[in-house]
Amino acid sequence: LHKTFRKSARKVGLPPGTLLHIGNVRSNATTITVLDYDEHSCREIAVRTVEELLSFKSSSTITWIQVSGIHQIDVMEKIGQVFGLHPLTMEDILNTTHRPKLEDHGEYVHIILKMLYYQADDANPEIEQISLIIGSNYVISFLESEKDHFHQLREWIQQGKGRIRKLASDYLAYAIMDIIVDRYFIILEKLGETVEFLEDKLLLDATPDILPEIHALKTEMLFLRKLVWPIREMIGALERGQTALFQESTLIYLRDIYDHTIQVIDTLETYRDIMSGMLDIYLSSINNRLSEVMKVLTIISTIFIPLTFIAGVYGMNFKNMPELEWEWGYPLVLALMLTIGAFMLRYFKRKKWL
């Protein structure tokens, strides 16, 4: 998850406004699909040249232009020109390491979000940056890959499910954002399973190799938090009504996304607190076990060392050791040893070491 963070250094030494794709190339070519609809009709159009998009810019219908693959600088540049996007906006769209943000350019609103999803065979979530350009009657969604994350939304629109066909482009943007934020709950659920798994493991049978797992989980939670946090501010700004493109009636839906992000953050914080509590328990359990080990050593040593000493004494070869000649010398010494041992055991029992 966190390898994508350090790539912006490539841009150093280029004049501002230079278009440069930062990130991994995840698609073959830039493909553009258009969904044009109003309350009564809906058609999907395959677009070959960027110029075809021009007509949608000022049509009376709502147009959803999905651009999959952003590494073809020339195509991207043309799209920017057709829709009159600011050079810095284009830069941000191409920089896939950008943090989530919202910027109002008057004519259009630019939103950057991160889509998280699991590949079929992968334990770590994939991260893909999605840029939305929201104009008065169109929404452009820039995706890094050719994955069709929004096919369900497209179907709902085509089938006229929900109220989306009756509403404007801001509601379409909301619907896209809602899908992205909803995906976070799947990540969250998997994190929650990992937390519970680790919790059980820690309380039952903690081995040292649990620490890197906890470390990895904490790092992942850290990154997820960094992705979700800016969305709060983003929607907070929208709610304060600073953006004319978003209508009153849409704001209540944004408030719903806002609630979701708060729930994500809340849950992450709860997980983090549980994890750090678990870590404390683990650390003190190590100490405890060390203490246990030492007790065993101490008890065994403390009992036998004096006895061994006594045995050593009567193993000495002095000529003149009267005890050695005694008839009952040996049994007496054995009895002495037993007494000392018993006394020691009682002492440890009293100290509650046994």
Write phi, then psi, for 63 (nearest 5 degrees). Answer: -120, 130
**Between 27 and 347, whose beta carbon lies closer to a copy of itself?**
347
**Between 39 and 266, whose beta carbon lies closer to a copy of itself?**
266
Q: How far apart are CB 114 and a copy of itself at their closest, in Å? A: 13
Dihedral over Cα of 185, 187, 188, 190: its sign: positive
d(CA 252, CA 241): 12
**Between 61 and 304, whose beta carbon lies closer to a copy of itself?**
304
**Between 48 and 319, whose beta carbon lies closer to a copy of itself?**
319
Look at residues 127, 263, 107 and name the one whose alpha carbon lies nearest to residue 189. Answer: 263
Q: How far apart are CB 289 and a copy of itself at their closest, in Å? A: 6
**Between 26 and 329, whose beta carbon lies closer to a copy of itself?**
329
- The Cα diameter of the chain in Å comes to 121
**Between 143 and 176, whose beta carbon lies closer to a copy of itself?**
176
Q: How far apart are CB 113 and a copy of itself at their closest, in Å? A: 15
Cα Rg for the chain, rounded, in angstroms?
35
10 SS3 class? helix
d(CA 126, CA 144): 12
SS3 content of the chain, % helix, strand, coil (to 5): 60, 15, 30
d(CA 278, CA 206): 11
Q: State the residue for tokens 């799209």.
A: 79
**Between 41 and 320, whose beta carbon lies closer to a copy of itself?**
320
Look at residues 164, 162, 180 and name the one whose alpha carbon lies nearest to residue 235. Answer: 180
d(CA 349, CA 341): 12
**Between 29 and 338, whose beta carbon lies closer to a copy of itself?**
338
* Cβ 254 vs Cβ 246: under 8 Å: yes
List the alpha helices (DSSP H) in 314-328: 322-325
Q: How far apart are CB 283 and a copy of itself at their closest, in Å? A: 5
Q: How far apart are CB 66 and a copy of itself at their closest, in Å? A: 18
Q: How far apart are CB 8 and a copy of itself at their closest, in Å? A: 5
Q: How far apart are CB 7 and a copy of itself at their closest, in Å? A: 9
Secondary structure, 3-state, 12-24 = CCCCCCCCCCECC
Q: How far apart are CB 11 and a copy of itself at their closest, in Å? A: 7
